Chains A and B, each alone.
Chain A
Amino acid sequence: MKTCHNILSALVVLTLLSGCSSSNLPSPQLTASMATADEAVKQARAEDSQEFAPLELQMAEQKMKDAHLAVANKNPELAGRLADQAMIDAKLASIKSRNAKQQEIVRDLQRSIQTLREEIERAKKG
């Protein structure tokens, strides 16, 4: 009875473990996370992150690649983590790029204001 019980327990644990780490198809949640992350990386590229946030973009792309690899290797837990990280990296890349462009606009505006002020001074003297 005791042995039987132990064997039963071991079987239960094994079953749980196998459920934990592998399944033949990725879960709908993982599929959704992967799609969201892929989209975020695409968005980051579209916002010129290659120019303004190359490090973040590279990290996001590498993690996405690894995430797809993890799915293929039947490691959904790792894939999910990588996808989530790739998404957050991509988001950071996007916002950094947007920021850089906005700062450029601010500088342009300030330059044009400065130019106008100089014109006014010249007009006053002239």
Chain B
Amino acid sequence: MRSIHSYAYQHITVMKNFLLNRAASLSLVAVFFLVAGCGGPPGNNPLVDASRTAYDAAARNADVVSNAPEILKTAQSNLVHSEKLLSDGADVEEVEHFAYLAKQNVAIAHETTRLKLAEEAISQAQTERTAVQLQARTAEAERKTAEAVTSANEAERARDQAQRARELTEQANERAADLASRIAELEAEQTARGLVLTLGDVLFDVGKSDLKPGATRAMDELTNFLNEYTDRNVLIEGFTDDTGSEQLNLDLSSRRSAAVKSALVARGISTSRIQTMGYGEAFPKVSNATSAGRQQNRRVELVISDESGKIPSRTN
């Protein structure tokens, strides 16, 4: 198109020269008619103005200048050309044609700029996405690791608890075994009221309530036992045979059980854990008819409570 235009332009120039040279009136009229018909009167053209405005704005836009310099240049040459045509009084269609090309090239320059910025944004976003994907994988891995650690910790805790339970059981078993062996050592017997240790008559002098040295070992063992099993209390019950007055026998049995209590207290056992009773000739173990029977009935029984510390009352 530009070539066709310049052809027309050359024709006009040739004609002008021709006119000047020959100054022919007819030619003048014809050429004047031709020029007037081809180009409008010089002055303003709204499309040229609009294109100039659009071009100037784009030329001030740093993004457009840096991203679409060539198209901007083309737009500028279109615009300059249309302005020249306008000032030369060229055909309005010619003027507006180049103004239109200028305007569209400015639009293309803007679109080119946006396209390049979008391409940059895409490349940035792709980089960012890669980074974020990595972060996501890392976070997921960390989460899984944390889960694994948590479950490992839980497993460890469960193992520890099981181990602790086993230890407690073992301890309990050991204590039970220990208790059993201590009971055996005490030569105590398990009865419905609890563990009963019987101190025989031989540990006391006849008619006296003082404990003979022979009772020391039994007292020490009982003390150890009570120190070890602090939840267990002891009830000391004194008994006699049926010789002598009943009151005397009650007193004697009371004093004998009090003597045992004193021995235990002297070894550090709290008085609150010790009860004493004197039953006199009541509750004989065997018949008092024989000397051997009476000896068996003269005794002090130590009833050891269960873990609750309570001892049921004597019923027989």
Contacts and interface: CB of A to CB of B under 8 A. Distances in A.
A95 B113 CA distance: 10
Nearest to B128: A113
B27 A10 contact: yes
A70 B115 CA distance: 35
Contact of A17 (B1, B34, B100): B34
Interface stretch (B117-125, B215-223, B278-286): B117-125
A13 B31 CA distance: 8
B30 A92 contact: no
Given A89-B104, A116-B129, A123 B122 contact: no
B126 A109 contact: yes
A95 B30 contact: no
A20 B14 CA distance: 12
Contacts, number: 121
Contacts of A106: 118, 121-122, 125
Interface of B is mostly: helix
Given A29-B3, A123-B140, A112 B129 contact: yes
A119 to B, nearest CB: 5
Contacts of A120: 132, 135-136, 139
Nearest to A30: B4
Interface residues of B, number: 48
A89 B100 CA distance: 10
B24 interface: yes
Given A27-B4, A106-B122, A12 B140 contact: no
28 contacts: A5-B24, A9-B24, A9-B30, A20-B11, A29-B4, A76-B4, A80-B5, A81-B1, A81-B97, A84-B101, A85-B97, A88-B100, A91-B104, A91-B108, A92-B104, A96-B111, A99-B114, A99-B115, A109-B125, A109-B126, A113-B129, A116-B129, A116-B133, A116-B135, A116-B136, A119-B136, A120-B139, A123-B142
Interface of A: 5-6, 9-10, 12-13, 16-17, 19-20, 27, 29-30, 33, 76-77, 80-81, 83-85, 88-89, 91-92, 95-96, 98-99, 102-103, 105-106, 109-110, 112-113, 116-117, 119-120, 123-124, 126
Interface of B: 1-5, 7-8, 11, 14-15, 18, 22, 24-27, 30-31, 34, 93-94, 97, 100-101, 104-105, 107-108, 111-112, 114-115, 118-119, 121-122, 125-126, 128-129, 132-133, 135-136, 139-140, 142-143
